[in-house]
Amino acid sequence: MGASHSGYASDITISFPVTGKFTSNQKIVYEAVLCARNAVINSAKPGVSWVDMHVLANKVMLQKLTEAGLLVGEVDAMIEAGLSGILQPHGLGHLLGIDVHDVGGYLPNTPPRPKQSYLKNLRTARILEEGIVLTVEPGCYFINALLDKAFADQNLSKFLNKSKIDEFRGFGGVRIEDVVVITNTGCAVLSPLPRSQNQNEDYQYLQKSSVPTLHFQKSLPRLPIPELEDSCKRYICAQQPLVDDTEMTQIVKNVNKMLKSDGPPLQKELKAIDAANRHTSYISRPWFDMYLTDRKPLPINYNPFLVFIDDPKPEYNHQLIRSANMVISSLRFMKSLRANLLEPEVFHLNPNKSNTKFFRTVTGMLPPAISWYGAYLFKAFPLDMSQYENLFNTSRIPKTGKDTLFHDNTTRHIIVMRGGHFFKVDVLDESGNILNAQDIYTGLDYILKEPYKAPEFPLGVLTVEERNTWATARSHLENTGNAEVLKVIDSAIFCLILDESQPTRDYKELIRQYLHSDGTNRFVMGVFKN
């Protein structure tokens, strides 16, 4: 399956048991193909031959089938004999672009088509380069005609365990196909779909809403531009508690002058801009500009915080356990959001009447273009969720004059800070699934037990500075060889801070700790929060 977007194609294959549960034989074949797929994704990078990737996938798959008892003998000998072409009678993948099976596989001055029988179906033999987009699609099939051919060939039959292979006749096959792009250091999967056969959906997702997360977004009413006279009245009222009578007189004079001169043409221009940008609000751009150009330090001025109450089970309040649970819960929230399974944010005027299954059924059946108005009939008001995507993998990068936002949702790691030191911790597998709780717990436990010395020059202190000061310091760090390290921090799903100080009931000290502490064990990213 696949879709076209902006003239570019995609090509994806998912194999799954129709019963919802793998049989033992299905597990064997699926795991063999999945391991082949993972091996390629972990090895593909600039300078690597696609032929070598094809052979790598075949070797991994044949090794797994040998371990399961379907095959006997040496894997390298199986490859040379051409056995892989019996079980996977197609190439590892193909170039992808304007066409699904795009051209360019065998261009002049690129490697020619291989002559070996088990490589003849390769659609390209190119050396991988940064920017190449192609599919990775290993497969394993039990095709009677090909199996009969193999059993009739003594060079192939010696590797086949007939009694075991016969169990798989009529099985069909398994293919796992992903779209990847070759990066400067490896490859990135552009089709982050569930792949692991033992993936527990209840563990992976926080919610499975029957109404898609962004179902109401398209029909949200737009913020109207108030009349100029009304805006001026509100402005004057807002100034009254802040100024004396003399200052207020001057403010009123200035406002009246503006109403007769610059005000009307500016109002007309604003309405024209609003009419030309129906996809957003007239206030969005000025708000973003204000937010990103403000040079004040982020702590106190922009970064909010909240404090969770203690868990009713005392044993769950241990730093390690609570941190692991927070990480996993946050990832489950993120995955629910990205899969469009998170419950839409809706303000229910009368929850007993509208926060019901009937409400979800009715509004879920309405087209997104009118769904908000359907909710309105229930006196329920869906809220804007456009900034939710910036809750994860997003950082505010300091720049002189105006900061920028950086967002990269392809990464699989979080950053953990302890004692001013940074730790990169992978929390998702290659398929985008949350690692099991024990792995995440063990990783955090290692960090908490790791001896450390306080850094002489803690980087985090710079992030709480005035924005131009931090921008200048960061530019120096990047120019002296630290750009990639900073990108690892910026692209993290989120940053987890492990402090040494104990929680306190002294609210002033608690606020100080959460807002900035002494700055050494902080990295203020300044992302958007709803």
DSSP string for 153-167: -HHHHTTB-HHHHHT
Please give the residue range of the domain that contains residue 308: 296-344+385-529
Which pLDDT does position 197 carry in this prediction? 60
Within this chain, do residues 79 and 139 fall inside the same structural domain, yes or no? yes
Within this chain, do residues 186 and 248 fall inside the same structural domain, yes or no? no
Which pLDDT does position 530 carry in this prediction? 26
Cβ atoms of 39 and 186 closer than 8 Å? no
Within this chain, do residues 124 and 258 fall inside the same structural domain, yes or no? no
Task: Specify the pTM.
Answer: 0.63
Cβ atoms of 398 and 470 closer than 8 Å? yes
Polymer length of the chain: 530
Q: Is 60 helix (H, G, I), strand (E, B) or coil?
A: helix
Which pLDDT does position 529 carry in this prediction? 34
Which pLDDT does position 437 carry in this prediction? 87
Which pLDDT does position 42 carry in this prediction? 93
For position 303, which CATH number holds? Answer: 3.30.559.70
Which pLDDT does position 199 carry in this prediction? 53
Q: What is the pLDDT of residues 101-116, one digit of tens each?
A: 888 888 998 999 998 8
Residue 143 lies in a domain: yes
For position 108, which CATH number holds? Answer: 3.90.230.10
Within this chain, do residues 144 and 255 fall inside the same structural domain, yes or no? no
Within this chain, do residues 300 and 258 fall inside the same structural domain, yes or no? no
Low-confidence residues in the chain, pLDDT < 70: 1, 18-21, 194, 197-201, 526-530
Q: Give CA–CA dist 141/135, Å, rounded.
A: 18
Which pLDDT does position 307 carry in this prediction? 83
434 φ/ψ angles, rounded to the nearest 5 degrees? -65, 130
Which pLDDT does position 268 carry in this prediction? 95
Within this chain, do residues 47 and 142 fall inside the same structural domain, yes or no? yes
Q: Is 489 helix (H, G, I), strand (E, B) or coil?
A: helix
Which pLDDT does position 526 carry in this prediction? 61
Q: Give CA–CA dist 156/71, Å, rounded.
A: 10
Within this chain, do residues 171 and 261 fall inside the same structural domain, yes or no? no
CB environment 54-79: b (16+ within 10 A), e (fewer): bbbbbbbbbbbbbebebbeeebeebb
* Domain-ending residue, one of 172, 195, 218: 195
Q: What is the pLDDT of residues 286-323, one digit of tens each?
A: 999 999 999 999 988 887 888 888 889 888 999 999 99
Within this chain, do residues 414 and 325 fall inside the same structural domain, yes or no? yes
Q: How many structural domains is the chain composed of? A: 3
Q: What is the pLDDT of residues 432-464, one digit of tens each?
A: 888 888 889 999 999 999 998 989 999 989 999
Two structure tokens written together for 389:
């995507």
